Amino acid sequence: MFKVVTNLEDLIKVIVVRGIVFVEEQGVPYTIERNEHDFSATHILGEMDGEPFAAGRIRAAGEFAKLERVAIRKSHRGKGLGHKLTDFMISVARKQGFKKFKVHAQAYLKDFYQKHGFEIVGDMFKEAGIDHYLMIRDD
């Protein structure tokens, strides 16, 4: 269901999911959604029956693994897949040697990330015109 991207075909699927969720649904400009970190990050793909439905990106940020671009297509929401994706991303980051994690969580998802052990640090801020919180998990 979830896997670390190791080839161009799977990376294209990740970019498609992100385009649908962030660019189309949330109105994030493509020029912000895609950036230079895509070339060095670890990408995660969620796929069912050959259809990509989820994406995520893990990036080293000092001693933290930063979970980014976490997305589930609308047709697959409400089934617990976001929780499974988050758990998978944390397990991949742990295997990379990380014990500290952070996320810029969209404000409406703060309770979601709190269920995964993340805590809000600081005040709400805008990113791509959307309210976010910095949330940290330190295992």
User: Which pLDDT score is estimated for 95?
Assistant: 98
Cβ neighbours of 63 (radius 10 Å): 11
Pairing assessment for the beta strands 2-4 and 130-138 based on DSSP bridges: unpaired
Q: How confident is the model at residue 104 (pLDDT cuts 50, 70, 90)?
A: very high
137 within domain boundaries: no
User: Exposed, middle or buried by CB within 10 Å (0-12, 13-18, 19+), for 39?
Assistant: exposed
User: What is the pTM (predicted TM-score) of this model?
Assistant: 0.95
**Phi, psi at 29, each rounded to 5°:** -60, 140
Whether the per-residue pLDDT at 109 is higher than 90: the answer is yes
Model pLDDT, residue 139: 87
- Specify if 132 maps to a domain: no
Amino acid 119: pLDDT: 98
Mean per-residue pLDDT, 117-125:
97
What is the domain extent for residue 21?
A: 2-102
The residue that leads in pLDDT, 24 or 139, is 24
Report the pLDDT averaged over residues 47-70. 97
Q: Nearest 5°: CA angle at 132, between 129 and 133?
A: 155
Is the residue at 17 inside a domain? yes
Round the average pLDDT of the chain to a whole number and report it: 96
What pLDDT does residue 48 have?
Answer: 95
Q: Is residue 16's pLDDT more than 90? A: yes
Q: How many structural domains is the chain composed of?
A: 1
Residue 116 lies in a domain: no
Dihedral of CA atoms 47, 136, 19, 128 in degrees, nearest 10, equals: 170
| pLDDT tier, 124 (very low <50, low <70, confident <90, very high otherwise) | very high
Question: What integer is the mean pLDDT of 11-36?
Answer: 95
- CATH number assigned to the domain comprising residue 29: 3.40.630.30
pLDDT of residue 111: 96
Three-class SS state of 138? strand
CA distance 130 to 100: 25
